[in-house]
Amino acid sequence: MIWVLALTVFVSVGAGVYLVLSRDLFRCVLGLSVLGAAANLVLLASGRLQSAHPAVVPIGQQALGEAANALPQALVLTAIVIGFALLCFALVLALRLIQLSGSDDAEQLRYAEPLPTDPLKPPVTEAALDPLHPGFDTESRR
């Protein structure tokens, strides 16, 4: 049983990383959701996989019998609810970003950063002074 769970976590993490590294914005958001599900599986497995085998039993103490540890289950249930809410919020933000920019390509969204000549939002790093930026003004740099 532990090998099946380990393989499931491995596949989930692999699929999540593959989706996060995609240039498509929706795939990135869904990849983060898949990575969250893999983390939930790891947390659930920390409790115990079978009710007859406790995760940790101190020396000299008895196990809880056939009862499963409820704490990891409660944590996973809470993480699922929070993860779903964050997924919905991220999808709404991504949809709005796509509407405003007209593209869901991560490479093109890079150019949505403020211009180097913007007085309200100056660039954070020197990498933002990219001459390939669509609104880059070469005359103001001289």
Contacts of 65 (CB under 8 A, 6+ apart): none
**43 contacts: CB under 8 Å, gap ≥ 6:** 72, 75, 76, 79
- 95-135, pLDDT tens digit by residue? 998 888 888 888 788 777 767 677 777 655 555 556 666 55
Domain count, the chain: 2
Rounded Cα distance between 31 and 21, Å, is 8
Whether the pTM exceeds 0.85: the reply is: no
User: Does one domain contain both 17 and 87?
Assistant: yes
What per-residue confidence (pLDDT) applies to 116?
67
For the chain (142 residues), the mean pLDDT of every run of 10, in chain order, is: 88 95 91 94 77 60 62 88 95 90 82 72 58 57 49
- Predicted confidence at residue 97, as pLDDT, reads 87
DSSP symbol at 62: -
Q: How far is it, in rounded angstroms, from Cα 133 to Cα 103?
A: 15
Same domain membership, residue 121 and residue 78 = no
Output the pLDDT for position 48: 64
Residue given tokens 């007859």 in the structure block: 52
Query: Are both 38 and 81 inside the same structural domain?
Result: yes
